[in-house]
Each structure stands twice: as structure tokens, then as C-alpha cells.
Amino acid sequence: MIINGIGMSEYTKTKQNHLKIILDVHIRISNCIIRKNQNFRKEFCYIDTNSGPGKYSYKGQEIMGSPMVFLNSSIKFNGQVHAFFIDENYDSINALRKISAIGFKMPKYDVRCFTGKNYEILGDLEEARAIPRILGIVYVDPSGTIYADQPKNQVTYFEILSLLSEIPTFSIVDFLMNVSCSNIKRVRSCSLTKRIPTLRQAIEGIKGKKYWLIREPYARHQWTFILGTNWYGFPEFEGIGLYHVRSKRGNEILEELNLTKSEMEE
């Protein structure tokens, strides 16, 4: 079901629960790193490239959108929080501006909302190049597509992340993406669309992130979370089925999600 450009399904609640678990742990770890190491800035940067309106309802139930999931988790961060929310839908950003202002006005919070195409806005974040490296997360949650510029179908989210990963500011910012692997396979088997790599090739193409984790897939669209980091010791989240791709289970998940049935038979 698509409402205001936001795809919603039975999986949405699981997605938000898992996002909260990952963000809570990430913020706890970031606090530890900063406490133990004076060289790290007491700042956290969160960029949500597909923020949506911050809350919506599905089948009569209110669901917290990713920006509010993050802001609530970030209450526990012991330092300055920079949150950049991007969405091409004007109404969504307008709604988000209003609800994120409630409770997140203190000096600890630097919350900015942008309306427009994420790849253009990220491209304009030239000032980010001047910022020394900072802890954080870039969260990418398109509605199943891997293209950021539909209907032109030129720029994929993997390419955007690849470019970001090369900017020194983002060297310790982890990348988290909610992906539909069956959609990637569908695009790969369509002769009319630009040839795109397999999930494994796409991940390996993001040169600025050395280690990847992948979550057990959900539903027929094979929804998964992938997380890219430069920290070898990034913990696995067995409770939600998120494993390093270098582990036995992680490698099995990636294999299962990587190729179409006919590619596997070739």
C-alpha cells in the first residue's frame, strides 16, 4: 500500500522495531567510544535520505517514522546531535518539521529538514567535506526501489553511498539500508532497465566501507537490512538475525539474496 510515496505493509512494524534496536545499540556504543577516547568528537550525525513525515498510520495503528525513531534513541546520546532529514515530498517534510520541533528544540539538537531529491541535496553537502570525521549513521529507506531518480533510472542508492563513503567525514559514519532483494533481482532480469550489479557486487562496490552485516529476509519482497561499517568488531544482532557477511550465516543469507533462480542454475 502506498500513502504519500510511502510503501507500507505488514513488514513496516518489524522494520521500525529493528531500526530502533540497531540505533539504540549504535548510540550506546558511540557513547562508550567517546568516553574512552578523547580524539572522538562528542557529536553524532544522522542522515535520513528518505525520511517520510515522521509518523503515519497503517490499518488504524500509529507508526513512528524513522526520523522520530532516531530522535527518540538519540536522547541517550551524550553530546551534540546533528540530524538531517531529506524527502522529496513537500507535505511529508512539512509534517516532519512540525513534529520534530516538539521536544527536540534544546541546544543538544541540530535538526534540519530538506525538501528535494536526496542525491542532489547530498551532493550539495559540500560543507560536510570540511567537517572532521564524526560518528553517525546514514539511513537509506526507499520504498523498495534501488533508484533515487525514478523514472530516469540512472542513479542507484548504492552509487550514492559509494560516493559518500569516499568522503573522509563519513569514514566512521555507518551506512544502513532497508532493501528489497526481490526488487533488485526483478530489475536485474529486466532487459529494459540499466544493468545493475548483484547485491554482493553492489556492497563490494562501496569501497569506503570494509565490513557488511546483513539481516534475515522478510516477506515475499525479501526485505533485508544491510549495514556497512569500517569497524571490524561491529556486533552482530542475533536477536533480529543481523550477521556479518563474513560469518557462516551472514554469507548464506547474502548468497540466498544475491542471485535470481535462473542465475543460480546457470
Ligand X SMILES: C[S@@+](CC[C@H](N)C(=O)[O-])C[C@H]1O[C@@H](n2cnc3c(N)ncnc32)[C@H](O)[C@@H]1O
Quick one: 30 or 51, whose CB is closer to ligand X?
51
Q: How far is the CB of 261 from ligand X (least distance, A)?
A: 27
Q: Is 52 in the site for ligand X (CB under 6 A)?
A: yes
Binding residue for ligand X, selected from 22, 27, 44, 66, defined by CB under 6 A: 66
Q: Is 50 in the site for ligand X (CB under 6 A)?
A: yes
| 30, 77 contact by CB (below 8 A) | yes
Binding residue for ligand X, selected from 33, 79, 82, 88, defined by CB under 6 A: 88
Beta bridge partners of 215: 242
Which window, 44-52, 71-79, 202-210, 252-260, contacts ligand X (CB under 6 A)? 44-52
Q: 218-234 burial string, b = 16+ CB within 10 Å, else e?
A: beebbbbbbbbbeeeeb
Judged by CB under 6 A, the number of residues near ligand X is 19
Quick one: 51 or 198, whose CB is closer to ligand X?
51
Q: How far is the CB of 228 from ligand X (least distance, A)?
A: 18
106 CB-contact burial (10 Å; exposed 0-12 / middle 13-18 / buried 19+): exposed
Residue 217: Cβ within 10 Å count: 19
Residue 123, C-alpha cell as written in the block: 551532493
Q: Find the helix or strand (DSSP H, E) in which 202 lies.
A: helix 199-204
Quick one: 149 or 204, whose CB is closer to ligand X?
149
Quick one: 62 or 126, whose CB is closer to ligand X?
62
Quick one: 64 or 203, whose CB is closer to ligand X?
64
Which window, 88-96, 127-135, 162-170, 184-192, contacts ligand X (CB under 6 A)? 88-96
Binding residue for ligand X, selected from 30, 73, 74, 118, defined by CB under 6 A: 118
Q: How far is the CB of 141 from ligand X (least distance, A)?
A: 4
Question: Which residue in the shown chain puts its C-beta closest to ligand X?
Answer: 65
Q: Is 7 in the site for ligand X (CB under 6 A)?
A: yes
| 110, 80 contact by CB (below 8 A) | yes
Q: Is 92 in the site for ligand X (CB under 6 A)?
A: yes
Pairing of strands 61-64, 55-58: antiparallel
Q: Is 165 in the site for ligand X (CB under 6 A)?
A: no
E strand segments, the chain: 2-3, 6-7, 43-48, 55-58, 61-64, 80-87, 109-115, 135-140, 173-180, 211-215, 223-229, 242-244
State in Å, rounded, how far the first CA of the chain is from the last one. Answer: 35
Q: Is 148 in the site for ligand X (CB under 6 A)?
A: yes
Q: How far is the CB of 49 from ligand X (least distance, A)?
A: 6
- Give the whole-angstrom CA distance, residue 172 versus residue 165: 9
Q: Is 142 in the site for ligand X (CB under 6 A)?
A: yes
How many residues are there in the chain?
A: 266
Point out which residues bind ligand X (CB under 6 A). 5-7, 50-52, 65-66, 86-89, 92, 117-118, 141-143, 148
